[in-house]
Each structure stands twice: as C-alpha cells, then as structure tokens.
Chains A and B, each alone.
Chain A
Amino acid sequence: MAYEISEYYKKHKGEAQWQDGEYTCTRTTMWSGPGCHNGCGVVYYTKNGKVEKIEGDPYNPFNLGKLCMRCINYVEAADSNDRLKWPLKRVGERGENKWERISWDEAYDIIVEKVNGIKKDYGPESIVCMEGTGRNVIWQVPYLCYAAFGSPNFTLGFLSGESCSMPRLVTEAVTEGEFTFGDYSAHFPDRYENPNWKLPEVILLWGQNAIISNPDSSLGHWIVECMKRGSKLIVVDPMLTWLAAKADIWLRVRPGTDAALAMAMNDVIIKEDLYDHAFVEKWCHGFDDFAERVATMPPERAAEICWIPKDTIVEAARLYGKAERGAGTWGVSVDMAQCGISAAQAINALWAICGNLDKPGGQSIIRYAFDQGLAYDYGIEILPPEVTAKRIGMDLPLKQFGFGATAHSDTLLKVIEAGGVPYPIKMFWFQSTNPIANMGAEAPRLYKAIKTADFNVVVDMFMTPTAVAFADLVLPCAMSSERWSQRNWWMPTASIRKVASYYEAKSDEQLILELGKRFSPELFPWKDDKEWIDWIISDQTSKMGMTFDELCDVVCQYEDFEYYKYEKGMLRPDGKPGFNTPTGKVELKLSLFEAWGLDPLPWYQEPPESPYSTPELHKKYPLVLTTGHRSWEFFHSEHRQLKLNREFHPDPMIKMNPETAAKFGVKEGDWVWVENYRGRFKQKVKYEMLHPGVVNAEHGWWFPEKEAAEPSLYGVFDSNCNNLTTMCQNGPTGYGAPYKNQLCTVYKVTEENSKIMPTEQVTRLGGFNYVQK
C-alpha cells in the first residue's frame, strides 16, 4: 500500500492543468477558507467557473493524494447558497440580522470615512484587527492593520494568553533561536524514500490527537506511516484516543499539568544517565541548574500531580531517553495552561538533552521555506516607533523585547472594560474569525466588550454569530479555489490558483489591496491580488528563483534541507557553528528570561482553579473540564452549515467516563448542562476512556440552522464551552491561559431547568451572574 499512483494520474504527471471532457482539471493547493492549518495538494475539476469535483493530488508530497472529509466535501461548501454573496450594510439594530445589499465601492467608502474619523478623533491605535487561527490571512490582515489603518493593534480573536502555538514558538525562539518540527520526512519531496531521512525510533506525541487535529503544517497520518514502519509511540493525552490506544505508552495526564510531567521525565532521564552527554556538553547551556530544578519534580511527585502512575512516567522517560532517534509533535494543550511556557520549555529540553535536535528522525530545526517569513509582523516596520509602542500589552516582558508579534488579547479586554484606558477601542475588523463562537475565552464577557465599539466590520464566507451580533458591514470573502494566493509555512512554498468565482466574493488579498489603495496607495502598489502574490514570490522569496506563474506550474517547491545545521554554521548570523541564542547554545537555562527578571528554568504551578488550588470550589464543581478537542468534521467553528459534515457529527458532545456518567445520573446520549460559577452550556454525553474526574467538552459550536437574530443568535452560547473558561489569567510572560483546565459539574437537561437558554441569558438578560458583576 505504498502510495500507488493510478494510471489516470500517471498520464498527467507534471501537468498543472489539463482538459478531461467537459472539465478543466487543475493541480494546486487547498488552504483556507474554509480551512485548517494544512495545505494539501488537490485537483479541482471545474466547469463554467465552478468547482464540480475535487480529488487529492497524488503527486503532492505533502498529502500524497490523501484528503480528509473537509476537503472531500469542498464542493458543498463552495456551492452553498448560504454563503455571503455581496457586501451587506446593517439596517436594523445590531443583532437584528437586517441588512441591505451594497456595492464594494459603497462599502469601501463607509470604511474609509469611519477609519479616518476614528484616526482623527482618537488615533489609529483605537482600531483593532483580528483574524482566526491558521487561516490563509496570516500576513494579509496584519498588513491591512499596519499599512492601511496605521494601527499597531493586530491580534487574534481574543485568544487568551495567545495560547495557540505562540507560547511554544516563543519558547523555541529563546531556547534554540529557531523553530522545530518532528521529522516524519516532510522536508523532502521524495519523503520516506529520501536517503538522508531515518525513521524515528520513538515518537513522543504530546497534547495533540494529531490525526484529527490540524498540526501546524504537519499531517497526523505521517505519524501513522512511521508507526507502520516500526516507530514506537508515547502519547500524552487525558483521553484514550486511537493513537493512545495504539501507543506503547499512554500517559493519561490531568489537564494542565504537562509541565510537571515533562520536568519529571527530564529528571528520570538525567538521573538514569540516559541523556546525550556529548550533545549536552558541547551544545547546551545551564545543564547543572536545569538538572537541579527538574530534580524538584521527581516522578513520584509528578505522579500525584498528573494522576499518572509513577512507573508509567519512568517507563516513558526510559523509552524516549534510550531511543537513538526521537521525534516529537506537541499540541495546543501545552500552551493552554498558565505555565504553558514552562511546559514548552521542559518538553523542548527533553528533545535537546537526548540529542534529538536536527538529527534525522529527530526534531528538525526548520524555517519558512526560502526564508520568506511573512507572518503577523508583515508591515509593522511601516509604523512610526511611537505608534508601535502603543501596541496593547507592550509592557509584557516578552513583547517588550520583540518576542511576540501581536497585541495582547487579555490586556485588550481589560482596556475596553476599564472604559478605554489608556485609550478607547472604537473599531474592530474581524477577518475570518468568529471569537464568540470559538477562540475567545469567556465568550459572554467578550460579547459585552465588543458591543461597545462604534464600528465593526466582519469579513467571512458565511454569516456568523459574530457578524450578526456586532457587524455594521459584512464583506464576503472568496474560498480557496477562488483566490490567487500562496502558502509558505515551513516546507514547501506552495501556489494557490484561482479556478472559480462566487458572486461578488473577493479574495482576502484583493479586498485588502483595494481598501489599502484608498488609504496609502504607495504601500499598496500592486495592480491586483495576483500581482501582489507575484511580488511576494519573485521578490520576497527570491531565494526560490521563480515567478508566481512558474510556481503555479510546479504547484509547490521544496528548499534543500540539511540536518545538523548547528554544526555547519547555518543557524547564526555570524556563520559560526552553534545556535542563534546569546550563549550560542541550546539554553536549558534561558539567559534572556534571566535578563528580563523571569524564572529562567521550568516550574510547575497548579491551574488557577483545580482540585488542589481551589479545593472548596472543587467540592462544588468536582470535575476537571478540558475543552478544544478536535473533530474530523469541523475546523473550529467552521463547517457547521454543511449537511454531510453534520450527518457525521450532528450535536456537540461532552466526553466522559461511563463511571462518571453513572455517578452524575446521566448516560450516553443524554443532554447535560455543564456548569461552573461563570456560566453553563449544554452538550450530549458520549462515553470515552477518560479519568473519572475529567470531562472533555467540544468547542466551536453554533447552529446555522437556528434563527440568526438575537436572542437566538444561532444558539451561539447554548453549547459554548467558553461560557466556562476565563480571560486574563495568564502566566508571568502574558502567555498561556487555562482553556483546558477548568472545574465544572454536570447535570441532566430537563424542561424545567432549560426555560432560559444561555444565548438569551447573554444577549437579553445581561449575561450570567459573573458577567453582570
């Protein structure tokens, strides 16, 4: 079953486009939207400007012809009559869902007038631009924010503690000066056949159900391929996933205690002398202090904290420590704790002390292909320093020193709630983000805060709860097949080719470009989106030596990848061997943290609300609530309007051990209220193998089939796990937030206890008690 290519595709090898009867077939890349974090190779079959069929591109080295359910069902999404077709202007009150069709020119005129008014009266920093996670707007929305609006306040959709990827990335940046990536051969176009690649002996999968989740430019099924070839597997997950069941060792961690577990595994590896002495001596800084610190977390202590038997922790440490090659993939669970940075630091140290960095089948050091690196900071240098200094959250230690490229969401909320101190927030620009349905913690509190802005614009593919509740203008954006774009997220650099169109929907690039021209034409000199992308490929990615058209012809391009870059002087600007850190080594003790007055070594802290930190609260809310578990059918709050995806997954589900269900008098299939002192939501019970003290609720749920106007608002708060999470409880760096470690109780939904649904509570009755305070 070795990724065979069918006769049909063999016939079309090397062709970017061909004719097949009435269809034009185009090989290209699918990203968002609707989306995920990956960029799989697809073949679109189009007729009369419409995508009629989609197939996986077997010649694309990234996904090797495979697609998941979301791409398989792309045509239903692209063809949906529910999509936004043209710009809409609000005519009723916010929340009434009353709109009038306007032209793009009218929409731009309104935006220009409003933005210029806000800039004049309050300053550009009163405008906040937000985008959703991992979508193909990563560099586009920041550029709009900085270059067109002149505001430094670009951020993600009220993502508390920036706790999706950012804590891990920042930790890597200060530890080894680079990013890393589990080595499943993805750097090579010939993949598993590449002679330099070696199979990981063991894979350490931490806090991620990789096959369902959308790892950052990594496909979970690469791990399955390695398992087939003999890789052993260690899985850290509170729930027995398929991968955990197949693993050699499953570490059923209590949510939020990953830092303790990682520290203990380091301790075992050091005490049992399983670490790579040569690497540590030559390439690591601060080993002795690090060893002393992790010794404060011996496996017996971690066993109590993490609810994992001591022997299992020791066994896992031995399996990883003894392996000649260990690859690792970590998930957002690492970030989603107050001590997320610390967890990342300790996991990163595991890779390092075992000598796995940049080793074949280990933890590859990876950059954006051809050093393109357009991301959240694209265009920030355009702003005068005094404006950049006004970015919200700039007083936080890492942001102060240039680590972290967004405004700080939690501080932003505090600024709004303080009535606009130090300055008011007058406008939100939401592009492909739906914060009250997903991403934003403590959604009812956000609802209240966002309503205070004078002018809000939502750019999306479908009408969303965020658009109905807040928008004054709603702009339709194109889907992946309807845009000229590109993707550069590690490897490879890929082209995204426009093959279709939908009513008046415009690509994210095109609408930003047209709008940008009205503010600062000199910063938006490109004729159209395609010319802008060509400039990015030809000029900003010049190392690749291609134009955009040429890239479209080959679909995607890989850069030569080398292992052991630190030995070859490939990581430091001075060209000397070593790592791009102040000491030139991997910093097990972070000298930058030390300089900034932060603890330079990993530490563990209980979640702010837990069985141990708040025992009284735990008596009332005796279950640990973890959230954000991914589904095959959906990407966060997307895909809920698609019949096929909903057939597979009609309702939101809270997963619990049958023992827990029995204790709380409920059974599989029952609807239950999940509650803590911040609010409640309802989901349906599904049995899974979890610790009896832990439940796992889904996120991102809203119901496009329900009434849009408030107080229904697509039922966005009814099943919303973020009624129970918190904002503004971050670690000392400002990073990390306890999304995945709250307390709750559950009880059966009855007619009697369901007279007022949460959405009505939030939109009409001032919110839950906590929010009213």
Chain B
Amino acid sequence: MSKNNERYGLLIDYDFCTGCHTCEAACKVEHKLAYGQWGIKLAQDGPRKLENGRYEFVYVPIPTSLCDLCEDLVKVGKFPTCVAHCQADVMTYGPVKELAKKMADKPKMVLFAPR
C-alpha cells in the first residue's frame, strides 16, 4: 500500500496476454530471484477445442507472494518491470479503485492486489 494507505494493484487484460514470459523473466531479473522462484507466474488454459468450433487458449500471469509491485522502481517514478515490458501491453499498474473502474470497459480482465 502507498503512503496514503491506498491499495495498488495490477490490471491484466487476459484476452490478449500472449504468454511471452517477459513478465516472469523481468521480475526474476529485477528481484534477482533464484532458480525455481517466481514473483509472477503464468497460468495457461488450453489450447483446446470448444463446442462452437473455436479454440480456448488463454494465459494469465499471477503475482505471487514475492511480488512487491516493484516498490523500488515505483518509488523513483517507474512502473513495475512486468508492466513496463509486457510485450502485449496488457498490464496496468495503479490504485485498485481506479483499475476497478477500467475493468468495467472491457471483458476478460482480472485485477490483482498482491499486497
């Protein structure tokens, strides 16, 4: 939480997350995480065929208990590294209250408040 006690989070548009692993890698590099440790981790559903003939193939990155929303980067006015480098540009950092409002505009969004 920030100084003014406002909770911050990550809004993720999982409609367009391509599963590129950049968030995971950026997080590991930024936090110098050991082999096997993750601050954010991709979950995958699919690919599988649906009854309507379309395919389900979805990735969602999930912040873990090691996520500190890149406190040190945020302090100097940067975005968390996963947000900054997300290749599909599907991650937004901000106050949970504002992000929740953005969720109303589009389906397939998920909001994480890791801490």
Contact = CB atoms under 8 A, between A and B. Distances in A.
A228 B78 contact: no
A648 B23 CA distance: 12
B3 to A, nearest CB: 16
Given A72-B26, A245-B57, A644-B29, A632 B77 contact: no
A242 B35 contact: no
B79 interface: yes
Given A58-B84, A245-B55, A246-B57, A72 B18 contact: no
A69 B16 contact: no
Contacts of B89: 1-3, 64, 66, 221, 225
Nearest to A8: B77
A518 B84 CA distance: 47
Contacts of A412: none
A212 B18 CA distance: 9
Contacts of B76: 8
A360 to B, nearest CB: 22
Nearest to A10: B77
B90 interface: yes
Q: Chain A: interface residue count, which band? A: 35 or more
Interface in A519-563: none
A599 interface: no
B34 to A, nearest CB: 10
A686 B21 CA distance: 18
Given A6-B77, A6-B79, A211 B35 contact: no
Interface string A623-657: 00000000011000000000110011000000000
A8 B91 CA distance: 18
A658 to B, nearest CB: 11
Contact of A56 (B55, B59, B84, B92): B84
Given A1-B90, A6-B79, A56-B85, A72 B57 contact: no
A228 B14 CA distance: 12
Q: Which of A2, A65, A242 has the most chain B CB within a 10 Å cutoff?
A: A242
A111 interface: no
A65 B91 CA distance: 13
A643 B56 CA distance: 32
B22 A67 contact: yes
Interface string A588-632: 000000000000000000000000000000000000000000001
A240 B87 contact: no
A76 B28 CA distance: 12
A224 B29 CA distance: 25
A67 B77 contact: no
B20 interface: yes
A65 B84 contact: yes
Nearest to B80: A6
A55 interface: yes
A7 interface: yes
A66 B89 CA distance: 8
Interface in A220-276: 221, 224-225, 227-228, 240, 242-246, 250
B66 to A, nearest CB: 16
Interface string A57-71: 010000011111100
B39 interface: no
Contacts of B85: 55-56, 65-67, 72
Interface string A1-17: 11110111101000000
Contacts of B111: none
Q: Which of A75, A632, A688 has the most chain B CB within a 10 Å cutoff?
A: A632
Contacts of A224: 16, 18, 88
Given A11-B77, A58-B84, 16 more contacts: A2-B89, A6-B79, A9-B78, A55-B84, A66-B86, A69-B20, A72-B22, A211-B18, A212-B20, A221-B88, A224-B88, A242-B47, A243-B18, A632-B21, A633-B21, A644-B28
10 contacts: A1-B92, A6-B78, A7-B77, A58-B84, A67-B85, A68-B22, A69-B22, A72-B25, A240-B55, A689-B49
The 3 closest A-B pairs by CB, nearest first: A7-B77, A245-B57, A8-B77
